[in-house]
Structure 1
């Protein structure tokens, strides 16, 4: 592996290590001490801990090894390599934090009254960890591998497969923990999903403007001059008028939405604007990898 490829690999691997460390910490600091649970394979490891006292680090490794090997064979090495990194690092950090807790170096957060606080912090921690892992192309294995295989072979939606898996595992948890803990778990899962979305999309969320006007060139010039944003003029033909005109396309940050709208209106109050969410922008003026 040459220096350039090694550097690119490390730039992706290090955030995955950080994300799995945060995720493992959230499981052992907030989830397990308060008898909450999770979905997917992580939920199975937690149930094994509650029911049989099996270490989550051990069960995570044992369950994910065959899934990883099947995924490697069916999905290909290039696609699943960062999943292997995620599985290995999650296993390591679960072991490390368990070891630190057993030695008394970390005292988990336990509560007998304010479970909503535990749920909120669990959701934020797990969501932050998974959000970082997902953003850099990794996973923590488990149901994600199953979902990818079923999507590849049968065209099933990955989101639906993961949702069904989570529902089954959380439902199975009723045999091990009280129903009120399940409800608190759902709070944590909801918060985690929002944090994941924010980390994956929110940090670089922007808006794309498509502006249809008879004064497209003047609008484009004004945006370029006043906002220092790149603008594209796209040739188009009006379906009713059959006349050719240019459509203005421009991407701006969320903070610039109102300013751009006012600039357009100052040139053409009758301009037709379509504004779309953009969840990731790369290039000059935005994120550059």
Structure 2
């Protein structure tokens, strides 16, 4: 069986399950760390929140509209397999939000906000990293970073963090308080590094080798 000349075999189904699980971890992090502690979302999701604040446009609509040109752009530059896996990834974002909402998952608040940023960075980064391993995306900034990585050899963590910095600056100028901005920026930096560590074996191997070397030298 194949769809758009992409073979739907056992590996594809395993990658699909991994992608949906990874998206679930990413959204779970938003529910339990970002929302209760009044942090900002990263990437295109954060941009959607900014547009909602300024123009009162539903974030889900903005996310959908921004993804349309990204998917059309990706159609020419990414493989059909990557794009085919990105469609359920984008759909899973909304479905996981509804599931966690129905389950009544509200999350944790911290007396020291920095812990929320640290935990969010790690958990959301693990989720996004698993999505990268599956060779899919969930749209938004991850889709854009995959395009730029594949076509122009940009580092995925630098692209993700660069997009987040722009979104955070817009948020700071409109609705985000400075402490929340700083914490969210820390979360975005951790997120970008963890995503690359989980999602890119060559980076993970090189980093672990460097750490081991430094330990033995001491």
Normalised-by-shorter TM-score class: 0.7 to 0.9
Q: CA deviation at 1:7?
A: 1.3
Ranges in structure 1 where 5+ consecutive residues have no aligned partner: 208-253, 259-289
Instruction: Tell me the equivalent position of 1:23.
Output: 26
Distance change in 2, residues 1:147/1:21 (3 Å): closer
TM-score, normalised with respect to structure 2: 0.74
Judged with a 3 Å threshold, the aligned counterparts in structure 2 of structure 1 residues 197 and 75 are, in CA distance, closer, same or farther, namely closer
Relative to its length, the structure with more strand (as a share) is 1
Q: Which residue of 1 aligns with 2:84?
A: 81
Q: Secondary structure at the match of 1:34?
A: coil
Q: Partners in 2 of 1:204 and 1:166 — Cα distance?
A: 21
CA displacement 1:147-178 (0-9 Å, x = unmatched): 5556788x483656544422211100111111
2:16 alignment counterpart: 13
Deviates more, 1:48-57 or 1:166-175: 48-57
Q: How does 1:199-238 map to 2 (within 5 A)?
A: 199-200=198-199
Residue 209 of structure 2 corresponds to which residue in structure 1?
none
Measure how far apart 1:196 and its partner are: 2.4
Identify the residue that residue 172 of structure 1 maps to in structure 2: 170
Tell me the matched-pair count. Answer: 205
Q: Distance in 2 between matches of 1:56 and 1:125?
A: 23
Q: Distance in 2 between matches of 1:150 and 1:164?
A: 12
CA RMSD between the two structures: 3.6
Matching of residue 157 in structure 1 with residue 145 in structure 2: no
User: Between Structure 1 and Structure 2, whose CA radius of gyration is higher?
Assistant: 1
Structure 1 residues 56 and 29 mapped into 2: Cα distance closer, same or farther (>3 Å)? farther
Unaligned runs of 5+ in 2: 207-211
Which of the two has greater helix per residue? 2
